[in-house]
Amino acid sequence: MEFPVYVVNMDIFVAEDGTEHESFGISCVLNGEILKEINDISTSHKLVSNMARLFTKCGLCLNRFKPALEVMISLGSDTLEEIGMYDEVC
């Protein structure tokens, strides 16, 4: 059984004041095909990269991708920082 790989994607969004910002999301990829993409998760590349790496290492199946992401985000930035999710990607 093959497991999906979770990779970071980047997009540019324009704020209400007209400034442009990078925003990062995660794509679930299996056999070179994007199965699901969740965009605009955070402006922190480190956070999103660590989430993608964690999902890949866990072998997270596609139907648990969105719920797992929702749980991670619900922890809040203080807790995510405390558990090292904003640390430099290894």
Q: Kindly give the interhelix angle for 45-58 and 65-74, rounded to the nearest 10 degrees.
A: 130
For residue 38, the number of C-alpha atoms closer than 13 Å in the C-beta half-sphere is: 18
Looking at the chain, how many residues does it have? 90
pTM (global) more than 0.95: no
What are the extents of the domains in the chain? 5-82
Query: In this model, does residue 1 exceed pLDDT 80?
Result: no
Q: How far apart are CA 30 and CA 76, in angstroms?
A: 29
**Per-residue pLDDT tens over the stretch 4-29:** 999 999 999 888 999 999 999 999 99
DSSP 84: T
Pairing relation of β-strands 20-30 and 33-42?
antiparallel
